[in-house]
């Protein structure tokens, strides 16, 4: 099963009663483990939490901290990129050259990298003087 397949499958579990916009994400760690996440909305936070953040949280809870690749699937005309907060989270756990596949339910895909998604990333090296 590909990462896109994993993301497509977990997308069905999304809880999106306000936006009705379901997103699924799957990542593979550098050791080969796969983790998934889907968006979750609630009345107090209708914009909810992102699928990518959910997959990253599951990875960290599983004891892993390095992403080798990621996929995100949504039902849209064109592939949807992760939000700014999720791009920063990706950059925390993935090198700039890590591939990210963005896909739609119709099969359209966009291949990119973490570095292309977040140029000029804020990194821990910026705090070297503190």
How far, CA to CA in Å, does 105 sit from each of 3, 59, 93, 97, 101?
14, 24, 27, 25, 13
Instruction: Say whether 116 is catalytic.
Output: no
Whether the Cβ atoms of residue 70 and residue 101 lie closer than 8 Å to each other: yes
Q: Is 83 annotated as a binding residue?
A: yes
How far, CA to CA in Å, does 58 sit from each of 38, 51, 65, 108, 111?
11, 11, 10, 27, 23
Q: Is 43 annotated as a binding residue?
A: yes
Q: Is 38 annotated as a binding residue?
A: no
Q: Is 86 annotated as a binding residue?
A: yes
Whether the Cβ atoms of residue 24 and residue 7 lie closer than 8 Å to each other: yes
Q: Is 40 helix (H, G, I), strand (E, B) or coil?
A: strand
Exposure letters 40-60 (e unless 16+ CB within 10 A, then b): bbeeeeeebbbbbbbbbebbe
Catalytic residue among 12, 52, 69, 111: 52
Binding-site residue ranges for substrate: 39-45
Known binding residues:
39-45, 50, 83, 86
Q: Which residues does the annotation place in the binding site for Zn(2+)? A: 50, 83, 86
Residues forming the active site: 52
């Amino acid at each position: 099963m590909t990462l896109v397949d994993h993301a497509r499958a977990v997308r069905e579990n999304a809880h999106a009663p306000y936006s009705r916009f379901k997103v699924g994400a799957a990542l593979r760690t550098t050791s080969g483990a796969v983790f998934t996440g889907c968006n979750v909305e609630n009345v107090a936070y209708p914009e909810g939490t992102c699928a990518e953040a959910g997959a990253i949280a599951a990875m960290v809870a599983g004891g892993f901290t390095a992403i080798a690749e990621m996929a995100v699937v949504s039902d849209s005309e064109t592939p949807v990129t992760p939000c700014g907060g999720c791009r920063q989270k990706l950059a925390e756990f993935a090198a700039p050259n890590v591939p990210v596949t963005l896909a739609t339910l119709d099969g359209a895909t966009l291949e990119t990298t973490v570095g292309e998604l977040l140029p000029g990333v804020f990194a821990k090296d910026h705090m070297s003087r503190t």
